[in-house]
Chain A
């Protein structure tokens, strides 16, 4: 249906003609659909999957057992990686199922579908990293999981609210660039220069948020 004329017309309205053609004609539409849905849900999914990197253990004092045995940087990296692996494993399972379905349903060679799926999965992984790092900051700040989720979600609300002030100016949506979710629009079409720029900027978001998260965790009382 996505490859039909009507489907392309509708998706062109959202992603532009080139984007729609690229996603649903030039590439397997089943995998592209998975890609688009993933990009849309990642910010919220990652908040929900990685909100508890430190919060519960800060509240219970469990980290005090660890601090005598590990350096803070080791605890930080281990928790960060654990959260990332959880998210990555979830997307891997869905990506594999989606690839199998695409091979059965889409009119593309299996090797082409598999190659595209791998490409999509790698972009998704890179896109999730800054959000895991963002949640490392939030989770280091508070001692409660509920507060961590609330604060994590609030970050998006604050950006949305700040954008209201710039809505009618030439700097519209400028505050969106405080979060990696602003890169989503550039990741949709993999054949553009914007995509390459976005792929280069995502590691920058990761470094900035991870450094901030570690600074908070390293300085705080456990």
Chain B
């Protein structure tokens, strides 16, 4: 069986600017994959190459064993581009039916498939309007529906929640979870909590280079550490008080946010230990502003970026 995705030695440059440098990676099984990196890291360029919208300057991309161009008509791969807009003046539903027809569905099948997907949106009368009459959030949701039309094997979502308020972004995430039951997807986002929440593995890009392609669990350990943000930078007294707790193996200070600590633990009794740590911190006169069990993806990613 073909790999879901295979990228070999892909370079992409715009004039003298190198957008991607020698990207090679292989993803064997269908999965929920996050693509993260700072602005200009090459996320959109990589996703555009995967969708066939951009040509790599060199290297090869295979999706389900085929190039993005040959896979096109089979409806195995769909994309939600970051800034693309639907045709103005034409009702969105009509355009969605056209997309489904282009994937080889009959008119009847296209309409029933679309109705099934739209039912996941709840209130969806807006699809009968032209795209310019829709709100930004509605356009994003419709874009996601088009990406999952026809149950493609792989869906590429380029920053689907960018620019959305938290409530709508949450709705969009729920929609992605619902619709992705039958499809693997690659999602790019600046929101690492979002990636951690809905993805099982993550690809990290930095300055066009591949930094990591790992399972989220490898980068964001769930049980062996605790991340704590305080109201001020911790002083030596607090650090030594925490070190005195038997099962605290190591205390790391966040290099970017000096009010944040990551505690590496060895205890299995996490609930009890958690309470003990919280008590110790409060006894030292600090206020905990954020407390999460496990090392967050952002911490794992920061470690990688700093070590690079």
Contacts known (A69-B72, A71-B69); A64 close to B55, Cβ less than 8 A? no
Residues of A near B51 (CB, < 8 A) are: 64, 67-68
Total contacts A to B, CB within 8 angstroms?
Answer: 63
Q: Is A65 close to B, CB under 8 A?
A: yes
Query: Are A67 and B75 interface neighbours, CB within 8 A?
Result: no
Contact indicator per residue, chain B 9-22, by CB within 8 Å of chain A (1) or not (0): 00000000000000
Name A67's contact: one of B53, B83, B87, B88 (CB within 8 Å): B53
For B79, what are the chain A residues with a Cβ–Cβ distance below 8 Å? 64-65, 67-68
* B77 x A68 contact (CB < 8 A): yes
The proximity string for A residues 65-78 relative to B, scoring 1 for CB distances below 8 Å and 0 otherwise, is: 11111111010000
Cβ contacts under 8 Å, B53 to chain A: 63-64, 67, 221-222
Cα distance, A219 to B81, chains bound together (Å)? 19
- CB nearest neighbor in A for B158: A64
B286 at the interface (CB under 8 A from A): no
Is there an interface contact between A67 and B52, defined as CB atoms closer than 8 Å?
A: yes
Instruction: List, in ascending order, chain A residues with CB within 8 A of B84's CB.
Output: 60-62, 64-65
A72 to B75, alpha carbons, bound, how many Å? 15
B contact residues around A63 at 8 Å (CB): 53
Q: How many residues of B contact A (CB 8 A)?
A: 25
Query: A70-B72, A222-B53 in contact; A64/B81 too (CB < 8 A)?
Result: yes
With both beta carbons as reference points, the residue of chain B lying nearest to A64 in the complex is identified as B81
> At the interface, yes or no: B302 with Cβ under 8 Å from chain A?
no
Among the interface residues A62, A68, A70, A222, which one has the most CB atoms of the partner chain B within 10 A? Answer: A68
Chain B residues closer than 8 Å to A221, beta-carbon distance: 48, 53-55
Say yes or no for B183: interface residue by CB 8 A criterion. Answer: no
* Contact present for A60 and B48 (CB under 8 Å): no
Task: Determine if A69 and B103 form an interchain contact, defined as CB atoms under 8 angstroms apart.
Answer: yes
**Contacting residues, chain A, for B83 (C-beta < 8 A):** 61
Interface residues of A in 48-70 (CB under 8 A from B): 57, 60-70
Residue ID in chain B nearest A63 by CB atoms: B53
Cα distance A66–B102 in the bound complex, in angstroms: 8
**Do A71 and B54 touch across chains, with their CB atoms under 8 A apart?**
no
- CB contacts under 8 Å to A, within B83-100, are 83-88, 99
B182 nearest CB across to chain A (Å)? 17
List CB contacts (< 8 Å) of B19-59 with chain A: 48, 51-55
Q: Identify the closest chain B residue to A69 (Cβ).
A: B102
Known: A68-B72, A69-B103, A70-B72. 4 other contacts (CB 8 A): A62-B87, A64-B79, A65-B84, A65-B146
Using CB atoms and an 8 Å cutoff, list the residues of chain A in contact with chain B. 57, 60-72, 74, 219, 221-222
- 4 cross-chain pairs, A with B, having the tightest CB-CB distances, nearest first: A61-B84, A64-B81, A69-B102, A222-B53
23 contacts between A and B (CB under 8 A): A60-B85, A60-B87, A60-B88, A62-B85, A62-B86, A64-B48, A64-B79, A64-B81, A65-B81, A67-B51, A67-B52, A67-B53, A68-B51, A68-B78, A69-B99, A70-B73, A71-B69, A71-B72, A71-B73, A72-B52, A219-B55, A221-B48, A222-B53
